[in-house]
Structure 1
Amino acid sequence: MRQRYKPWADDFLLEHQDLIIQNPTEQKGRWQDLFASKQPLHLEVGTGKGQFLVGMAKQHPDINFIGMEVAKSVVVTAGEKALEAELDNLLLVHADANHLLDYFAQDEISTIYLNFSDPWPKNRHEKRRLTYTAFLKQYEHILQQEGELLFKTDNRGLFEYSLCSFSAFGMLLGEVNLDLHAEEDPLNVMTEYEEKFSAKGHPIYRCKAVFQR
């Protein structure tokens, strides 16, 4: 999705370096030092505008959340939401998810969220999908033993591809939900995309998976 250019984005990033981390390689292995309390660390890869992450941080004050987003204009929007919420268990990272091993140490993360990732539907773009094998290898390295990967999408093709990718990698599926909103889940925090697509009657798919070690 094309994002509107924000000419003031660079100034915002400079002003809020304590919230939006620009050099995540410097924090590898010591992310907990940036939070008020040392708690389980959850990572959302592809935070978007931040609605999910802010909602989760409000709902779970006993968890520290990190949201990673590569698009500058988008991470700034998420930063505005985070500032308004005034949460001490939430940080954002302006960085590329292709280099997770440069940012996080082995077993540093408890849970990873992939929400409404770009489906990259063309075969030649398979390696860009966040559930492609190369990404799974990174997730496995930074996730703790029995750490979960939670994946949500409205794209059935991407969901089916991801289930196959998880299985081929040897992951165990703890949940496969083909219509998340068929029954109300009071703990489910929706993203902006989720609200939009579910309002149109689109089914939302979700699965939970763990790596076998």
Structure 2
Amino acid sequence: MRLRNKSWAAPLIAAHPEYISVRPVGMTGRWQTKFDQARPLFLEVGSGKGKFITEMAQAHPDQNFIALEIQDVAIAYILRKQVELQLPNLQLVLGDGADLTDYFAPGEVAGVFLNFSDPWPKTRHEKRRLTYKHFLAQYQAIMAKDGVLQFKTDNQGLFEFSLVSMNNFGMQFDLVALDLHHDDRVVGNVETEYEHKFSAKGGRIYELVARF
């Protein structure tokens, strides 16, 4: 969902290059220099307003995190939180999830999070889904050999498509959860803004955790 323009967003982004990179083509292989120390690096593609990624950074100080968003207003909301929190293990990227191999070097990322991505329900738009084979190839290219892809959605159609797409790509599944919030195998789940509101109304959340 596209957010309404905010007059404060662009000036905030321009004022804080220490926390945010805009389409950072020159950063491949150098992301650890943006943090106070080198740690395993995890990427969320499509971070919304940032509840998930900021809470992950707080809960896992032994890991580094990057929030990637294509919407400048959305990334500005995350940046506003980061200016307040000043988490040493969180960086932001304003960029396109289709350009990951331009942003990251092979094997640079330890894991990728896909949370409630646009389902693009029409068949003619399936190539835009973030679990389409073209995107899976990009995640594989930037992830370490033992890296993990975590995918959450409330959309059954997208979940089924993603399960088939990942299976056809040769991925191995660590977890297939048909009702995440009532699955005893899941420990320490961190919710997104949307997930919290949707599940509070009784909605079902699906999750896949897979490896290349």
TM range (shorter): over 0.9
TM-score when normalising by structure 1: 0.96
Question: Could you list the per-position Cα deviations for residues 30-83 of structure 1 after superposition, in whole angstroms to 9, with x for gaps in the alignment?
Answer: 100110010000000001100000000000000000010000111001111222
Cα pair 2:46 2:114 within 8 Å, conserved:
yes
Counterparts of 1:191 and 1:81 in 2: how far apart (Å)? Answer: 15
Amino acid at match of 1:190: E
Counterpart in the other structure of 1:181: 181
- Displacement of 1:186: 5.3
Amino acid at match of 1:164: V
Root-mean-square deviation (Å): 1.1
- Displacement of 1:8: 2.2
Amino acid at match of 1:210: R
Amino acid at match of 2:105: A
Q: How does 1:35-184 map to 2 (within 5 A)?
A: 35-183=35-183
Counterpart in the other structure of 1:193: 194
Counterparts of 1:92 and 1:141 in 2: how far apart (Å)? Answer: 20
Question: Could you list the per-position Cα deviations for residues 153-201 of structure 1 after superposition, in whole angstroms to 9, with x for gaps in the alignment?
Answer: 1111100100000000000011000111115755111000100110110
- What is the count of residue pairs matched by the alignment? 211
Counterparts of 1:139 and 1:183 in 2: how far apart (Å)? Answer: 26
User: Is 2:208 aligned against 1:207?
Assistant: yes
Gaps of 5+ in 1: none
Counterparts of 1:66 and 1:121 in 2: how far apart (Å)? Answer: 28
- Displacement of 1:206: 0.7
Amino acid at match of 2:197: K
Cα pair 1:51 1:81 within 8 Å, conserved:
no
Counterparts of 1:163 and 1:11 in 2: how far apart (Å)? Answer: 41
Counterparts of 2:72 and 2:89 in 1: how far apart (Å)? Answer: 22
Counterparts of 1:169 and 1:2 in 2: how far apart (Å)? Answer: 30
Counterparts of 1:201 and 1:84 in 2: how far apart (Å)? Answer: 32
TM-score when normalising by structure 2: 0.97
Gaps of 5+ in 2: none
Counterparts of 2:90 and 2:211 in 1: how far apart (Å)? Answer: 24
Runs of 4+ in 1 over 4 A off after TM superposition: 183-186
Sequence identity of aligned pairs in percent? Answer: 51
